[in-house]
Amino acid sequence: MTEKSTLSIRPAEDCRYDIVSLGEIMLRLDPGEGRIRTARHFRAWEGGGEYNVARGLRRCFGMRAGVVTAFADNEMGLLMEDFILQGGVDTSLIKWVPYDGIGRSVRNGLNFTERGFGIRGAVGCSDRGNTAASQLKPGDVDWDHLFGTLGVRWFHTGGIFAALSETTGPVVIEAAKAAEKHGTIVSYDLNYRPSLWKGFGGIDKCREINREIARHVDVMIGNEEDFTACLGFEVEGVDDNLTDLDTGAFGRMIAKAVAEYPNFKATATTMRGVKTATVNDWGAMCWMDGTFYTSTHRPELEIMDRVGGGDSFASGFIYGLMTFGDPQKAVEYGAAHGALAMTTPGDTTMASLKEVEKLVGGGGARVDR
């Protein structure tokens, strides 16, 4: 389908970081089994689409991870820093912005998320306007120092951060260009969110920004809706939940994408069929070197908390490519890690590498003693 392409990943000994992500991190407030609207107490977590990938690579897969983001310098920011430290992710790249006392000029984001159950779907209610991360602009980060002097093997970011404001998309472009210059692999999760783009230009602006970003991406992650909305590629033969994905049709769409963006060395997508909030069909597929690979399909997978499942897929997929250079193993590790991450609460993984390896190897849920 395309000329063969391979990933050339920088040697570990030449780099301080195996993975660095760029994105916003919010305080997730979780009402547990209850509803946001009636809750009297919440459990606090940290989370963010791009950050979750780096944290998964550190916490589950043992890789050296850092995060580029920004916080208002107040108690909430310090709480989120503490969460990040507990996950083992380096915080030295965080930009701290003076706080004005009330959040008029800068603040930290809140994300109220209920998990759903059965016929009641998950609900998210974010409060993220005017956050420190959304105000990052080109020139705020010394990317040449990060990618050149310190050294980063893999850089990950995504469409949620790019959509936060009129300045964050250009920051992604600036970062991706610098990473490309220094030989760092760039992955990008399209993660289309119409609510984020509608404030400044809608889908036209979304495509303008994402098409420019795509020119500097090595590994593109996204489902059918993401590729259609963000890059303008259509795929036929697929339902809204990707349960009846025609791999031939998806392949033809990827062929078009790779023809327009020959810099793509791999693409990947999850396949989630939502039967209820707690029972999903789950799988994944990827393209690399002209060939498609599919993971083990897990029909009627029981889940506790679906939020972050796609991010955990991405971290497992990246781990597989970095460690084995084998796309079949990569998509299996990604799908297994995503499945395990959805069995526990919160955005971020609680799985171990041994658990992922067991699931990849066909292991079940028998008690380990």
The residue behind tokens 């060395």 is 265
> Angle at the Cα of 361 (from 242 to 293), degrees rounded to 5?
40
Determine whether 240 is exposed, middle or buried from the number of CB atoms within 10 Å of its CB (0-12, 13-18, 19+). Answer: exposed
The full set of domain ranges for the chain reads: 19-360
pLDDT tier at 136, thresholds 50, 70, 90: very high
pLDDT, position 23: 98
CATH architecture of structural domain 19-360? 3-Layer(aba) Sandwich (3.40)
How do residues 280-302 score in pLDDT, each as one tens digit? 999 999 999 989 999 999 999 99
The answer to whether 171 touches 140, Cβ cutoff 8 Å, is yes
The residue behind tokens 């809608």 is 202
Q: Average of pLDDT values for 16-20?
A: 98
Could you give the CA distance from residue 309 to residue 138 in angstroms, rounded to a whole number? 30
> What are the structure tokens assigned to 181, written together?
């210059």
pLDDT tier at 47, thresholds 50, 70, 90: very high
How do residues 231-244 score in pLDDT, each as one tens digit? 998 766 655 554 45
Alpha helices by DSSP H, listed for 150-201, are 159-162, 168-181, 194-197
Q: Who's near 112: CB < 8 A, 6+ residues apart? A: 28, 29, 31, 36, 42, 124, 125, 126, 127
Helices 353-360 and 327-341, interaxial angle, to 10°? Answer: 120
Residue 266: name the closest of 187, 339, 334, 192 by CA.
187
pLDDT, position 5: 46
> What are the structure tokens assigned to 126, written together?
């974010």
Could you give the CA distance from residue 338 to residue 359 in angstroms, rounded to a whole number? 11
